[in-house]
């Protein structure tokens, strides 16, 4: 049955624009804006693929892209996972340089890190580099984060001035209202850098796979939140005082039922038990190391090289295009699953364990065997892993389409818009100069 909701939302957006609902859109002069410095609002839609832009499924996002700037796609950093890439966006450093090398990792001094380990997530020793909010505040500015990896730890001795611990139960509308209240402040503490995070598209993508009705509904829900955001900026006279940048951290690939390859089987083919290795992360981007006292040569003979649905390397021999493998937290052997496959262990499946994105991102393993699901963490050059970049605002060019670029190039743009010096990083400041309005 045809779903009329995308068309209805598009009609609302267009009518709103025609009435002057968005400052700078044809039809009406914007409401007077308060005398405040321009702000940057960085919005992440976790797991959103760029092929949705322009389809009418997310009419508010389409309108932002048509009015401002959008890229064909943005290439995530390796591994194409949530925490490594969100932190790359705000530091300009690849995961191999900022230290968040996976959603699940180990450090000889710090122990284990995972998304559900609150003590680790809030420990600044895990987080290398300097995120944009820290640099801005060191230069006298103010920042606020409505959820962003890294913002829950006092990096460099400081949190953002306003921040929230991640809470998946917080409705999108409440997230937007909080951000709007921050931006509407008229005191000296008004933030000029704000983040906003939506997790539903990623969550439904893992559970049901990209393109599923559940994912399309999640996309519609997030687009409604974007519409609320745009309307709220206009109502507060801020539409021409805020540059809105919408990104995603990675895409999503479909995982058909049963498409799992097992490390146990690879080892058993050489007569080795699972106890021979220490699995640090499993799922798609897999890290492991020989167990203490194990026969390293035998383990390498069993694992290194091409397998039916994956490939494994010594960390120092990973493909150069991934810029990965020098950080001490990268395990000795890294295995990459092929698109649409998961690389795990039989004990993990038997225990209904989750993939490397547990607990937020992954469905129950038994569920994964029953119906198609979704995963990311695949090679970042894979089309399914491509991410979104859309920007619109007073300092953003009008109606411009950009070629693909790497996500570490976003950070220099953020710092230019914030008017503070960028820290040394892996991004190219020239890449996104075409995204800026003339004279910016």
Eight-class DSSP state of 399: S
Hey, what's the torsion of the CAs at 174, 180, 181, 183, to 10 degrees? 150
Q: What is the pLDDT of residues 55-73, one digit of tens each?
A: 999 999 999 999 999 999 9
- CA 408/CA 132 separation, integer angstroms: 12
Q: Tokens for 200, please give them.
A: 């539903």
Beta-carbon neighbour count of residue 404 at 10 Å?
14
Q: Given pLDDT bands bounded at 50, 70 and 90, which one contains residue 439? A: confident
Residue 266 structure tokens: 């690879």
**Bridge partners, 370 (sequence order):** none
Closest CA relative to residue 68, chosen from 103, 38, 37, 25 = 25
**Tell me, what's the pLDDT at 370?**
62
The reported pLDDT for the residue numbered 345 is 94
What lies within 8 Å, CB to CB, of 273 at 6+ separation is: 267
361 pLDDT exceeds 60?
no
Closest CA to 133 of 115, 117, 118, 146: 146
Entry field: residues in the chain? 440
pLDDT of residue 358: 38
Cα gap 218→172, rounded to integer Å: 11
pLDDT surpasses 70 at 374: yes
Average pLDDT, integer, range 171-199: 97
Q: Is the pLDDT of residue 3 over 50?
A: no
Whole-angstrom distance, CA of residue 323 vs CA of residue 87: 16
The answer to whether the beta carbons of residues 315 and 256 sit under 8 Å apart is: no
CATH of domain 258-372: 3.30.1360.180
Q: Do residues 39 and 241 lie in contact, with contact meaning Cβ atoms separated by under 8 Å? A: yes
* Residue 423 token pair: 């820290």
CA proximity to 73, closest of 48, 43, 106: 48
Q: Is the dihedral of CA 136, 138, 139, 140 positive or negative?
A: positive
Least reliable range by pLDDT among 75-89, 193-207, 353-367, 415-429: 353-367
pLDDT of residue 29: 34
pLDDT at 34 over 80: no
Contact residues for 199 (Cβ-Cβ < 8 A; gap 6+): 46, 147, 168, 360
Question: Which residue in the block uniquely carries the two structure tokens 């704000």?
Answer: 194
Location of each CATH 3.40.720.10 domain in the chain:
5-252+383-435
Q: How large is the average pLDDT for residues 152-178?
A: 97
Residues 6+ apart with CB under 8 A from 193: 39, 40, 42, 132, 133, 136, 141, 142, 143, 144, 414, 418
Of 256, 252, 267, 257, which Cα lies nearest the Cα of 347?
267
Per-residue pLDDT at 371: 74
- Where does the pLDDT of residue 33 fall: very low under 50, low under 70, confident under 90, or very high at 90 and above? very low
pLDDT tens track for 249-274: 999 999 999 999 999 999 999 999 99
The pLDDT of residue 166 is: 96
pLDDT at 363 over 50: no
pLDDT tens digit sequence for 311-360? 999 999 999 999 999 999 999 999 999 999 999 999 988 875 444 443 34
Residue 348's pLDDT is what? 86
At the fourth CATH level, which superfamily is domain 5-252+383-435? Alkaline Phosphatase, subunit A (3.40.720.10)
With 60 as the cut, is the pLDDT of residue 153 above it?
yes
Instruction: Report DSSP letters for 256-302, one per residue.
Output: -TT-EEEHHHHHHTTT--GGGEEEEE-BSEEEEEEPTT--HHHHHHH
Round to whole Å and give the CA distance between 28 and 337.
52
Return mean pLDDT, the chain.
90
Residue 349: per-residue pLDDT: 83
How confident is residue 104, by pLDDT bands cut at 50, 70 and 90? very high
Is the pLDDT higher at 365 or at 200? 200
Q: What is the mean pLDDT of residues 362-372?
A: 54
Mean pLDDT over 103-111 rounds to 97
pTM of the model: 0.89
Q: Do the Cβ atoms of 122 and 116 come closer than 8 Å?
A: no
Residue 189: exposed, middle, or buried by beta-carbon count in 10 A (0-12, 13-18, 19+)?
exposed
State the residue for tokens 């503070």.
420
Alpha-carbon gap, residue 191 to 137, rounded angstroms: 10
pLDDT for 247: 98
Are the C-beta atoms of 407 and 386 separated by less than 8 Å?
no
Q: DSSP labels for 375-390?
A: E--S-TTSGGG-B-EE
From residue 191, alpha-carbon distances to 46, 138, 194 in Å are 23, 13, 7
Q: What is the pLDDT of residue 351?
A: 76
277-323: pLDDT as tens digits = 999 999 999 999 999 999 999 999 999 999 999 999 999 999 999 99
User: Is 141 within 8 Å of 188 (Cβ atoms)?
Assistant: no
SS3 (DSSP) at 356? coil
């Amino acid at each position: 049955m045809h779903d009329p909701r995308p068309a209805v939302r598009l009609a609302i957006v267009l009518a709103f624009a025609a009435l002057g609902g968005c400052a700078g859109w044809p039809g009406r002069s914007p409401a007077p804006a308060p005398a405040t410095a321009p702000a940057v609002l960085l919005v992440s839609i976790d797991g959103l693929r760029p092929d949705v832009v322009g389809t009418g499924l997310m009419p508010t996002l389409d309108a932002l892209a048509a009015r401002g700037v959008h890229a064909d796609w943005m290439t995530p950093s390796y591994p194409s996972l949530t925490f490594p890439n969100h932190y790359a966006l705000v530091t300009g450093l690849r995961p191999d340089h900022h230290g968040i090398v996976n959603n699940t990792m180990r450090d000889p001094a710090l122990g284990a890190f995972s998304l559900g380990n609150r003590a680790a997530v809030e420990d600044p020793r895990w987080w290398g580099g300097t995120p944009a909010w820290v640099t801005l505040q060191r230069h006298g500015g103010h920042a606020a984060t409505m959820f962003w990896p890294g913002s829950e730890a006092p990096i460099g001795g400081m949190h953002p001035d306003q921040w929230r611990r991640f809470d998946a139960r917080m409705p999108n509308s409440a997230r937007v209202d909080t951000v709007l209240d921050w931006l509407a402040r008229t005191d000296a503490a008004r933030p000029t850098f704000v983040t906003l995070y939506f997790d539903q598209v990623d969550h439904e993508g893992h559970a049901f796979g990209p393109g599923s009705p559940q994912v399309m509904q999640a996309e519609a829900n997030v687009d409604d939140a974007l519409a609320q955001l745009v309307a709220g900026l206009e109502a507060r006279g801020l539409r021409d005082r805020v540059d809105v940048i919408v990104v995603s951290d990675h895409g999503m690939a479909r995982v058909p039922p049963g498409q799992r390859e097992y490390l146990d089987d690879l080892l058993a083919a050489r007569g080795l038990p699972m106890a021979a290795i220490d699995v640090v992360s499993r799922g798609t981007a897999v890290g492991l190391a020989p167990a203490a006292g194990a026969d390293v040569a035998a383990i390498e003979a069993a694992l290194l090289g091409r397998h039916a649905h994956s490939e494994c390397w010594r960390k120092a021999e990973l493909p150069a295009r991934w810029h990965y493998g020098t950080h001490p937290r990268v395990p000795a052997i890294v295995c990459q699953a092929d698109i649409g496959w998961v690389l795990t262990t039989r004990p993990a499946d038997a225990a209904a364990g989750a993939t490397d994105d547990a607990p937020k991102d992954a469905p129950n393993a038994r569920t994964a065997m029953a119906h198609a699901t979704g995963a990311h963490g695949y090679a970042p050059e894979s089309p399914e892993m491509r991410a979104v970049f859309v920007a619109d605002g007073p300092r953003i060019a009008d109606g411009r389409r950009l070629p693909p670029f790497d996500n570490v190039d976003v950070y220099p743009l953020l710092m230019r818009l914030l008017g503070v010096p960028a820290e040394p990083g892996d991004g190219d400041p020239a890449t996104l100069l075409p995204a800026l309005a003339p004279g910016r």
